[in-house]
Copies of this chain bind each other. A is one copy, B any other.
Amino acid sequence: MSQHRQTRIQRRNSEAILEAALEVFSQQGFRGATLDQIAEVAGLSKPNLLYYFPSKEAIHVAVLSRLLDVWLDPLRAMNPDGEPVAEILGYVRRKLELSRDFPRESRLFANEILQGAPRMRAVIEGELRPLVMDKAAVLTRWMDEGRIARLHPVHLIFSIWALTQHYADFDVQVRAVLEGEDPYPAAAGYLEVLFRKLLAV
């Protein structure tokens, strides 16, 4: 029917596989995950997985590439024509919501970078770097216009990533220290204060 002739069954099963793979890969890492586990979570048999994807590696790559777009959307959404502090705080808030609502995605991404990004280096250099450079230029312009404090723009972006992703990636540690208390309400308030002070001219 459509240009990429994909049946209902294909769409449903591919989706189930990618969802299950995200669950298992983000918990166990690439090497720690087994096709049997993914098949079990997806409710399919192992050979059936390999009917839809040629290999374990292909599943991993598919999950990662689907992930990256969602992951970069908040940065893309930072509007060069908006009010600087509001735009940056909005970016921080959206990124923190991503950590809260999609911790598996965050951990899978962290895992991949930790291992040296063997399957993503090309994408990082080809897509992430230009985007960061573009947004860094916007930040620099805002600094030149005196609308936010002068800071290293790229490290400013790094600090947003670090502070927000920490709550997803180190969730176990955070909750252990906080004795299980939900960290997100306090984190949202803390980060807003932090960036307001940091950006004030």
Interface residues contributed by chain A, number (CB under 8 Å): 54
- Please name all residues of chain B whose beta carbon is closer than 8 Å to the beta carbon of A165 when the two chains form the complex: 162
- CB contacts under 8 Å to B, within A145-181, are 149, 151-152, 154-156, 158-159, 161-163, 165-167, 169-170, 172-174, 176-179
Given contacts A132-B177, A194-B198, whether A30 and B27 have CB atoms under 8 Å apart is: no
Assess the B116–A172 pair: CB atoms within 8 A: yes
**Which A residues form the contact surface with B (CB < 8 A)?**
27-32, 107, 110-111, 113-117, 121, 124-125, 128-129, 132-133, 149, 151-152, 154-156, 158-159, 161-163, 165-167, 169-170, 172-174, 176-179, 183, 186-187, 189-190, 193-194, 197-198, 200
